Structure 1
Amino acid sequence: MTKELIPQLMPQEPTGQAHIDLKPQVSTPLNLMLGLLGGVALAVMIALNSELAKYGSPLLASWVAHGVGTLVALLLLGAVRLRQGALTRRNEAAPWWAYLGGLPGAFTVVLGAMTVNSALGLSASIAFIMAGQILFGLVCDSLGLFGMARRRLSRGQGAALTVMTLGALIVLLAQEGA
């Protein structure tokens, strides 16, 4: 099954260059698994950066995280280019604002380190971070922000945000009552 999904993720162009199709597609088990792994990676990142912030500061943790991330990204880019050729999507330039993804990343590290090292702790911090991600994701989907496909929001999605926020509050209240 995974072998069948890989061509959807990176179909080969006639030129032999790899191509990543970023258009909205039907959810597949691979997409769901990758989303879950992304969530786990985010939680690990927040935990590690928060630990580093204890020995320096949240800003130091952000600098180190992005420096290490840059080195790993460069190594991965080099490995992919050696193996497959350049990764391309289109021949046109990305909009200027698409290059600013590191800004919220830096704030995520700093804010995450500050909240994890507060009374919130790791689990409540991650619960509220996830609630914020869902809220902003719904706003982006409904308005088509940042080049996202515009999607009509449903009551179910509003209910999911409400349940997620209540879950974050329950995590917080349960740890305070423990």
Structure 2
Amino acid sequence: MSSIPAQRPKPLHLLAAFASGGLLTFAVFINAEAGRYGGALYSSWLAHGTGTLAAILVLALLRLRRRPAEPSASGKAPLWAYLGGISGAATVMLTSTSVNTPLALAGTLALGLAGQVAFSLAADQWGLFGLPRRRLTGRDAGAVVLIVAGSLLIIFLGMGS
């Protein structure tokens, strides 16, 4: 297994991660509201349709700004790279449904975070998606335990609020 040297996070990276987490929470809330009024499938179509239109607009603006680049010699993307839309659609449908249950927004996001951390640790351990393999440490296990414990506290102690 290759070992990746530890690096200290830069303040800008921490701020960007914090901001993206806030935007993710807002997006989950908007998807949940769309799911409440139109259903989970409608919520997913709305989110991905809006994203598609925004991507087309950004690509059109970029094309006006500069000349097209030469085609890359690196080849094609791996087949699994095209599956992101499927997992994204499933995520939107599942979160827009679970937010409208007693889990609410905080419980849904807490469990989602626990799932993301568990999957990313598995990806590190086994080198999924072309990532370098990394041996998991006690610190990694401790992070998962704390996240799951916090999630359970949010879900079970926050029910009456």
Shorter chain as denominator, the TM-score bin is 0.7 to 0.9
Aligned pairs for 1:1-16 within 5 A: none
Letter in 1 for 2:146: V
Aligned residues: 155
Correspondence for 2:61: 79
Kindly indicate whether residue 34 of structure 2 is the aligned counterpart of residue 62 of structure 1.
Answer: no
Correspondence for 1:174: 157
* TM-score, normalising length: structure 1: 0.78
1:84 to partner: Cα distance: 4.8
Q: 1:165 to 1:97 in 2, by over 3 A?
A: same
Q: Partners in 2 of 1:25 and 1:89 — Cα distance?
A: 35
Correspondence for 2:144: 161
Correspondence for 1:147: 130
In structure 2, runs of 5+ residues without a counterpart are none
**1:104 partner SS:** helix
In structure 1, runs of 5+ residues without a counterpart are 1-23
Correspondence for 2:31: 49
Q: 106, 119, 134: which one pairs with 2:89?
A: 106
* RMSD of equivalent CA atoms: 2.3
1:36 to partner: Cα distance: 2.0
Deviation track 1:82-133 (CA, whole Å, cap 9, x = no partner) reads 3355579953211111111111100110000111001100011101101110
109-118 or 69-78: bigger deviation: 69-78
Higher relative contact order (CA 8 A, sep 6+): 2
Q: Percent identity?
A: 39
* TM-score, normalising length: structure 2: 0.86
Q: Partners in 1 of 2:97 and 2:60 — Cα distance?
A: 34
Deviation track 1:37-71 (CA, whole Å, cap 9, x = no partner) reads 22222211110011011111101100111000111
Cα contact 1:81–1:87 (8 A) shared by 2: no
